Amino acid sequence: MIRYDDVADLYDLHVTVDLDVPFFVNEAQRVCGKVLELMAGTGRVSIPLVEAGVELTCVDVSEGMLERLRAKLRAKGLSAVVQRADICDFDDPALFDDAYAVAHSLHFAQNMR
């Protein structure tokens, strides 16, 4: 099991693929409302979504990964709701118009339990 808090500062150096980002940006821009990104990590997809004007809530279990995401948002003058939570126990009363768990995220959630 990967301890994401331990690798948060190195994660972006390892995961550089962005071929899926245009798909998620296009899909999210079609939504008139709030979008939820589960297992958002350091914001590989989150940042482009927010830059495209998406009203985004980012959820991840790793505080280290979320700290990197928050720093990126601040550096770019962007804002999103960033929330630490285990998606297996995530219970948010907010209603979302769309939700994403990108790449193989759900596979990792299963293996983290």
Q: What is the CATH number of the domain that holds 27?
A: 3.40.50.150
Task: Give whole-number Cα distances, 12 to 4, 7, 19, in Å.
Answer: 12, 9, 15
Domain carrying residue 84: 4-111
Number of separate domains in the chain: 1
Q: How far apart are CA 113 and CA 108, in angstroms?
A: 9
The answer on pLDDT for 109 being more than 90 is no
- Pull the structure tokens for residue 75: 């550096």
pLDDT tens-digit map of 14-67: 888 899 999 999 999 999 899 999 999 999 999 999 999 999 999 999 999 999
pLDDT tens-digit map of 82-102: 999 988 888 877 789 999 988
